[in-house]
Structure 1
Amino acid sequence: MSAAAAWYDGWLREAALPLWAGAGVDPDNGGFREALTWAGAPHDPRYRTRVQARQAFVYATAAADGIAGPWRAVAEKAFDRFVGRARREDRMFAAVLAPDGTPTDRTAYLYEHAFVLLAAAALGREGLAREVRQGLDVFRHAAGGFREAGDRPFQANALMHLFEAALAWEAAGGDVAWAAMTDELAELALGRFIDPATGALSEFFDPEWRRLAGERGLIEPGHQFEWAWLLDRWGAARGRADAGAAARRLFDCGRRGFDAGRNVAVDALTDNLAVRDGGARLWPQTEHLKAALALGDEAAALEGANGLAAYLDTPARGAWRERMRADGTFVEEPSPATSFYHLFLAVRELTRLAGEA
């Protein structure tokens, strides 16, 4: 494990952080770019809130971790410019900006705001976070939790990232409202999102947070791993053995989608945990690694670390391959900036736990 940690740590420090703070930042407007080609050239003119917030989180956290480089300044400059351009009159954030800073989609999505809160935690922007948290009241749902904007309002994904952001604020010493939010979302996951028969967590629900079945009963291995990592943290903090047990079952469900031949977690399962989509995006591999590390499954963690490495084999070191086909080949497409957040946290957990061993 120590050899894998050293390799990934070198990739992060020497290649990924410099590349995405250089070619990955637009020198004209200071925003983080949406994507880079495998050769490290800019691609995609959009500026989405989720990208600006995720990248700010990565660089602010890298600075807080003591990784050498101008990372705090990179995070602050990009985030402050983003806030100045994307904030609406109601203090919430537009979803997408044009390169000149003009909003092209003024919709306020719960998903985007979860990442604004995560970035704000890393940067210590308590006032901004309080305002965003108050603004989330428009997403409140009578059956508990929050509903998303758009045509699929009842989904677990945005709430998972809100749970992550609230945990980050709780860890940063935020007020008691953050702990209340983490408790509410954890209980919603344990009581509604997870099928007690299988232990799997669904993606989509009806307005009463009842799990959808059949074609709509999608199970994503990556989200089983991601929720496992988060619920394990929350359970440890609250002394809740049931959350730890649920995290282990989630991990085991996600492993039903692990392809040992390719050393990857596939994209989707049916609600009876059969493979539905044998493609394998990058981000589930990072979540598999994080969850395996958190739950002490060293064999699975080594499998995950070995499988993930194939995605980082690009002409420009520090970029990545986003999608593996079912036959093991990769789709030739630019590297999306959204994946850096996943990669950064996986490498961070790997190096942290290897250092403690």
Structure 2
Amino acid sequence: MPDPLHTELGAAKAWIVDKALPFWSRTGFDRNIELFVERVDFSAQPIDVPQRLMVQSRQIYVFSHATQLGWFDGRELVDTALRSVLKKYATGQPRAPMAFSVDRRGNLVETFADTYSYAFLLLALSFVRKLGDCGAADAAAAEMIALLRSDLAHPCGLGFLDRLPRRDAYSRQNPQMHLLEAALEAASAFDNAEARRICDQIVALFESKMFSRQHRALAELYDDNWQIADLPRASFEPGHHFEWIWLLDRFSRATGRATEALIGELSQRAYAEGIGGSGAIVESIAIEGTARVESRRCWATCEALKAVASDFEFGRDRALSKSRAAALLRALRVCFLSGPFDGGWIDRIDGDGRPMLDYVPASTLYHVFVAIAEADRVFGGAD
């Protein structure tokens, strides 16, 4: 009898290599302005909306990494896109050197400094550097790291602001998480000591403030002292628990610091409460009480797949990890990756499995690619 894990993994890898990467490098890249499209409709036609720096950076990262893996020849695409991004998103403002978004003609739209976007630009630059670009990538990465360590550093001395000018009084976990991901790669790619300090600082913030051991939950919003904002109404997203499991393992490997206890606590509610219908991951769960948002997003199921791959790699119940990986790959295929066209996806479904969006956001390719790449790296040769 065929092994369910290897059957599902083979199908997922074939889908990303033969369908997704070709589509998003062709239809998903506008050669007129040399930028990736932000989203397409269900007939695979680009939609005219502002194009975020975050999406451009994610796509550059994906095609850089895919090129390294030998899954796609993306060197020309990556070079063209990066040169265009560094030119078109440049604002000339020292405190916000790269815009949040431009329009489909390449004109600046929103120009605030956004930590989430800068984290993905740093991630992209790190993988471009691994392809051998030692010029533009080095200079741009150094600029990003310096800005993060200065203007975007949180005034309380812990973590980072999510943007400048600030949009509200909240502090947010999501930019910290993706900045950790980017800084881990930048520390390696550029041998950058400041990037290593960013990693240490974010993990220290996670341990001391962001993760509530009392509730075994990671909130999304905090006040300026990193206390959970409006705790009675606060929720956690299981997908982010899974993402932190993967990141803390990577941090441990890079630094030698033990993270197993934190990972164990993160895992408890994520696995016990986070798996919804068809095996996909639910959107959010009340930190206190029983309220749940039963809709499901493709990205969260991808992050769960990364977490179980990490569980297997680090020796946490390998038999269970393989079973979970097969189930999550099936959930991705059945719930999200089977439409609406070859190389596209249904990004969000309700509790009954019905699509909740009428378009395909390009930003999701990053989640799907990393999940399949990690599953292939870890399980591809596993017995």
Show the 5 A alignment for 1:207-218.
207-218=224-235
Q: How many pairs align?
A: 355
The answer on whether the counterparts of 1:263 and 1:304 sit within 8 Å (CA) in structure 2 is yes
**Aligned amino acid, residue 77 of structure 1:** T
What is the aligned partner in structure 2 of residue 302 from structure 1?
Answer: 326
What is the aligned partner in structure 1 of residue 270 from structure 2?
Answer: 254
Pairing 1:268–2:281 present: no
What is the aligned partner in structure 1 of residue 205 from structure 2?
Answer: 188
Moved more, 16-25 or 193-202: 193-202
What is the aligned partner in structure 2 of residue 128 from structure 1?
Answer: 140
* 1:231 to partner: Cα distance: 0.8
* 1:248 to partner: Cα distance: 2.8
Find 1:12's aligned residue among 16, 23, 31. Answer: 16
**Aligned amino acid, residue 264 of structure 1:** A
Which ranges of structure 1 fall in alignment gaps of 5 or more residues?
none
In 2, Cα distance between equivalents of 1:132 and 1:228: 26
Give the 3-state SS of the residue equivalent to 2:228 in structure 1.
coil
Give the 3-state SS of the residue equivalent to 1:348 in structure 2.
helix
User: Are the structure 2 counterparts of residues 273 and 73 from structure 1 closer, same or farther at C-alpha, using a change threshold of 3 Å?
Assistant: farther
**Aligned amino acid, residue 303 of structure 1:** A
In 2, Cα distance between equivalents of 1:88 and 1:14: 37
Pairing 1:224–2:241 present: yes
Give the 3-state SS of the residue equivalent to 1:90 in structure 2.
coil
The answer on whether the counterparts of 1:4 and 1:305 sit within 8 Å (CA) in structure 2 is yes
Find 1:140's aligned residue among 153, 165, 173. Answer: 153
Pairing 1:23–2:27 present: yes
Percent identity, aligned pairs only, is: 28
Show the 5 A alignment for 1:1-357.
1-69=5-73, 71-90=74-93, 92-124=97-129, 125-136=137-148, 137-143=150-156, 144-149=158-163, 150-151=167-168, 153-241=170-258, 243-272=259-288, 274-296=290-312, 297-310=321-334, 311-357=336-382
User: Are the structure 2 counterparts of residues 21 and 152 from structure 1 closer, same or farther at C-alpha, using a change threshold of 3 Å?
Assistant: farther
In the superposition, the TM-score normalised over structure 1's length comes to 0.95
The answer on whether the counterparts of 1:257 and 1:275 sit within 8 Å (CA) in structure 2 is no
* 1:153 to partner: Cα distance: 4.0
Which ranges of structure 2 fall in alignment gaps of 5 or more residues?
130-136, 313-320
In 1, Cα distance between equivalents of 2:229 and 2:111: 30
The answer on whether the counterparts of 2:55 and 2:362 sit within 8 Å (CA) in structure 1 is yes
* 1:273 to partner: Cα distance: 6.7
In 2, Cα distance between equivalents of 1:116 and 1:215: 35
* 1:170 to partner: Cα distance: 2.1
In 2, Cα distance between equivalents of 1:260 and 1:280: 8
Q: Kindly indicate which of the two structures has a greater share of residues assigned to strand.
A: 2
In 2, Cα distance between equivalents of 1:308 and 1:32: 24
**Aligned amino acid, residue 140 of structure 1:** A
* 1:4 to partner: Cα distance: 1.8
* 1:100 to partner: Cα distance: 1.6
The answer on whether the counterparts of 2:232 and 2:288 sit within 8 Å (CA) in structure 1 is no
The answer on whether the counterparts of 1:54 and 1:338 sit within 8 Å (CA) in structure 2 is yes
* 1:126 to partner: Cα distance: 1.6
User: Are the structure 2 counterparts of residues 215 and 198 from structure 1 closer, same or farther at C-alpha, using a change threshold of 3 Å?
Assistant: closer
Moved more, 82-91 or 317-326: 82-91
**Aligned amino acid, residue 39 of structure 2:** A
User: Are the structure 2 counterparts of residues 94 and 109 from structure 1 closer, same or farther at C-alpha, using a change threshold of 3 Å?
Assistant: same
